[in-house]
Amino acid sequence: GEQVEQRPPHLSVREGDSAVIICTYTDPNSYYFFWYKQEPGAGLQLLMKVFSSTEINEGQGFTVLLNKKDKQLSLNLTAAHPGDSAVYFCAVSEASGGNYKPTFGKGTSLVVHP
């Protein structure tokens, strides 16, 4: 089945710096890609959903890149601020079978220092 590796497990940056989190996946049939943010004690907040056909996706304060050739998905937070401190998870799902169940990475704990 699908396997998702996420790195780094921990990331510490200063306010205003960029922060990059990378996920690699194994299933070439993967079609949907997600980034979630989990704040302490909370559930999952969807940051962005990316389809297989789109390589560059701009969000508010971040960019998501999809490299299908290398089976890699990245989240780049530009100019991070302390409010971005949280655990970030990538997730990947495929369309076959119709269940779309996501497989999650292990998460990256991001700390942004003022």
Partner 1 sequence: GALVYQYPRRTICKSGTSMRMECQAVGFQATSVAWYRQSPQKTFELIALSTVNSAIKYEQNFTQEKFPISHPNLSFSSMTVLNAYLEDRGLYLCGARDPGHSDYTFGSGTRLLVI
Residues that bind partner 1 (CB under 8 A): 31-32, 34, 36, 41-44, 46, 49, 89, 93, 95, 99-107
Q: Check if the beta carbon of residue 109 is closer than 8 Å to that of residue 81.
A: no
Q: What are phi and psi of 60, to 5 degrees?
A: -85, 100
Check: CB of residue 1 under 8 Å from CB of residue 50: no
Cβ-based nearer residue to partner 1, 14 or 101: 101
| Nearest distance, CB of residue 63 and partner 1, angstroms | 20
* Encoded amino acid at 64, one letter: V
Q: Least distance from C-beta 91 to partner 1, angstroms?
A: 8
Q: How far apart are CA 26 and CA 92, in angstroms?
A: 10
Nearer to partner 1, 19 or 50 (CB): 50
> Which of residues 78 and 107 has its CB atom nearest to partner 1 in the complex?
107
Residue 94 structure tokens: 């495929």
Quote the least distance from Cβ 17 to partner 1, whole Å. Answer: 25
